Amino acid sequence: MSLPTDQMLPADDVFDAALAWRDAGKPVALATVVSTWGSSPRPPGSHLGVSADGEMTGSVSGGCIEGAVVKEALDILKGAPAQVLDFGVTDQQAWDVGLACGGAVKVLVRDFVPLIPLYTQARAALASGEPSALITRLDSGETVTLDDAGGLPDAVAEAARKALKDDKSRAYSGDDGDWFIEIVAPPRRLIVVGAVHIAQALVPMAAMAGFWVTVVDPRRAYASDTRFPGVDVRTDWPDEALDDLKPDSRTAIVTLTHDPKLDDPALDRALQSQAFYIGSLGSSRTQAKRVERLAEVGFDEAAIARIHGPVGLRIGAQSPAEIAVSILAEIIARMRSTPD
């Protein structure tokens, strides 16, 4: 299954802006978070692009160390070699750069131009839903892909394969030196069954959080481009749509129709998938009846227990927007609870 070209990577705006600056004849540097500790707000793999004019795109800290990183980036664009910057460790250092509570972050800053073919290759792989691993030796800034890593030390290649399997960018240190393994993966997906008013609030929120969102509802009066502009909308029957979408371990599925004729076929397919989150709208009474129906068609207790029902965190939500917030919060909580 391929991804829509306008929903590739949350960091695509960094790459696209940097590429546009380069096409305009401006030198560009790329800063990448390599590792973090404590209160650092941006995870490994986060990017900041810097043009020779001092323009910025993206973030490596949420704003507290960007000034120091930009200064280093401008020096690199004047010919300085790639640098690994360490911020934090002590409370005083953290205070100097704006990291709260002694947090720490390590940032690699380098020329963007040599990386363009590698990121272009990784983005092309994403078009077919395939993740990639970019492996950088920190003392030199040299980067290769895992597919082209024939000369890598065995331990580094194995660490890259594990990072790829875990879907986690991370630093690696060993007898062969210090490395950074960046995983360039498709965005996590959210499949919303039921083009109802709650979905109208949930879909843009989830998109802002970096999810690739698909809305499924065979009722064309609900599932329209007018109600969901710019969204992947499917009007197939839910089980047929999920057969086509092939939900995997990077997928969350939520049913919102309150109609067993639509929700149950979707849940049937969801429970047969590796989706990391399954939720279904309805009261506790509705959930109890849903459990009975699913048990009658052969799902065991462990399978049915995967369903978050009633869906969403218990925050006293009442309006469609509040319910959408509770649902997205529960999805993110489940996503972040997955061990590294």
Residues 197 and 169 in one domain: no
C-alpha–C-alpha distance, residues 2 and 95, integer Å: 45
For residue 191, what are the contacts with CB-CB under 8 A and spacing of at least 6?
213, 214, 216, 241, 242, 245, 247, 251, 252, 253, 254
H or E stretch covering 213:
strand 212-216
For the chain, the residue count is 340
The type of residue at 44 is P
Closest CA to 165 of 246, 106, 250, 247: 250
Q: What is the mean pLDDT of residues 54-67?
A: 83
**Range with top average pLDDT, 7-11, 45-49, 163-167:** 45-49
Question: Which domain CATH number covers 213?
Answer: 3.40.50.720
Cβ 12 vs Cβ 92: under 8 Å: no
- Specify the pLDDT at position 42: 81
Q: Which of 8-12, 116-120, 265-269, 321-325 has the lowest mean pLDDT?
A: 8-12
Q: What are phi and psi of 59, to 5 degrees?
A: -160, 145
Residues 236 and 160 in one domain: no
Mean pLDDT for all residues in the chain: 88
Residues 21 and 72 in one domain: yes
Model confidence at 17: pLDDT above 80: yes
Model confidence at 105: pLDDT above 90: no
3-state secondary structure 296-327: HCCCCHHHHCCEECCCCCCCCCCCHHHHHHHH
Q: How many domains does the chain have?
A: 2
Instruction: For residue 178, count CB atoms less than 10 angstroms from its CB and return exposed for 0-12, middle for 13-18, buried for 19 or more.
Output: middle
More confident residue, 252 or 12: 252
Residues 171 and 219 in one domain: no
Residues 35 and 153 in one domain: yes
Residues spanned by the domain of 161: 1-186
C-alpha–C-alpha distance, residues 256 and 239, integer Å: 15
- Specify the pLDDT at position 147: 79
Give CA 82 to chain center in angstroms. Answer: 27
Long-range own/partner contacts, residues 335-340 (CB < 8 A, 24 or more apart): 335/188, 335/252, 335/276, 335/277, 338/276, 340/166, 340/168, 340/170
pLDDT tens for each residue of 120-135: 888 888 877 788 999 9
Q: Which of 186, 216, 237 is the last residue of a domain?
A: 186
Residues 20 and 35 in one domain: yes
Residues 258 and 270 in one domain: yes
What is the pLDDT confidence band of residue 11, given thresholds at 50, 70 and 90?
A: very low
Model confidence at 265: pLDDT above 90: yes
Residues 176 and 314 in one domain: no
pLDDT tens for each residue of 303-330: 999 999 999 999 999 999 999 999 999 9
Determine how β-strand 28-37 pairs with β-strand 104-111: antiparallel
Model confidence at 109: pLDDT above 90: yes
What is the pLDDT confidence band of residue 99, given thresholds at 50, 70 and 90?
A: low
Cβ 26 vs Cβ 50: under 8 Å: no
Q: Please state, in angstroms and as integers, the Cα–Cα distance from residue 55 to each residue in 19, 26, 29, 62, 305, following that order.
A: 13, 10, 10, 16, 49
Residues 40 and 175 in one domain: yes
Residues 178 and 269 in one domain: no
Give CA 338 to chain center in angstroms. Answer: 13
- Specify the pLDDT at position 104: 80
C-alpha–C-alpha distance, residues 306 and 163, integer Å: 26
Model confidence at 4: pLDDT above 70: no
- Specify the pLDDT at position 268: 96
- Specify the pLDDT at position 266: 97
Q: Which of 186, 212, 229 is the last residue of a domain?
A: 186
Residues 162 and 226 in one domain: no
Residues 48 and 167 in one domain: yes
Instruction: For residue 61, count CB atoms less than 10 angstroms from its CB and return exposed for 0-12, middle for 13-18, buried for 19 or more.
Output: buried
Tokens of 278: 């399954």
Q: Which of 160, 186, 212 is the last residue of a domain?
A: 186
